[in-house]
Amino acid sequence: MAKHAELPSDYPPPAVEVRLIGRIVDLRGKRVLEIGAGDGRLTIQYASLASSVVAIEPDPANVALARESASATGITNSSFKVGTAERVRMGGGAFDIALFSWSL
């Protein structure tokens, strides 16, 4: 559906992507790895569904914004790291779901 955008964004309106992801895989209770998380725009939309989220993003400024957004929205199960899929080291075991949102 059309949305009037005061500050236009070329991303889908909030909740659209999470709903579409849900058609492929159930995010509830899953351990999620998000690659190219940007400023956390999508992460904060689904994080409360997941058991935990590790979101990686190469731009430190975006990571700082994502951390602020997560904090402001009360999200405590997500960690944001500077890095790329190719280079970042991740401990804590395997992930159930990996997300590339406009980032491959």
Partner 1 sequence: MVHALERTAGHLAAHGVCVLIQPHRTRRPFIAVVARGRRVPIGGLVNPAFQPLIDAANDAIASVVDRGLFKLLNRSNHQFSVRLANPSQLHRYLHNGQRPPRFPPGARKRLMAAWRSRPPGAEIEVTEYMTLIGLRRVGA
In the bound complex, what is the minimum distance in angstroms from residue 88's beta carbon to partner 1? 9
Residue 103, both tokens? 């980032």
Cα separation values, 68 from 3, 35, 40, 96, Å: 26, 18, 9, 26
Assess 90 for contact with partner 1 (CB under 8 A): yes
Rule CB under 8 A: is residue 24 a binding residue for partner 1? yes
Question: Which residue in the set 60, 72, 74, 104 belongs to the binding site for partner 1 (CB under 8 A)?
Answer: 104
For 99, the token pair is 């997300």
Q: Is 14 in the site for partner 1 (CB under 8 A)?
A: no
Our finding on whether 35 is near partner 1 (CB under 8 A) is: yes
Give, as ranges, the residues between 46 and 65 that touch partner 1 (CB under 8 A).
none
Tell me the torsion sign for CA atoms 48, 49, 55, 59.
negative
How many chain residues bind partner 1 (CB under 8 A)? 34
Backbone angles phi, psi at 56, to 5 degrees: -115, 150
- Among 14, 15, 16, 61, which residue interacts with partner 1 (rule: CB under 8 A)? 16
Q: Is the dihedral of CA 10, 15, 16, 18 positive or negative?
A: positive
Interaction site with partner 1 (CB under 8 A): 1-5, 8-10, 12-13, 16-17, 20-21, 23-25, 33, 35, 84-86, 90, 93-102, 104
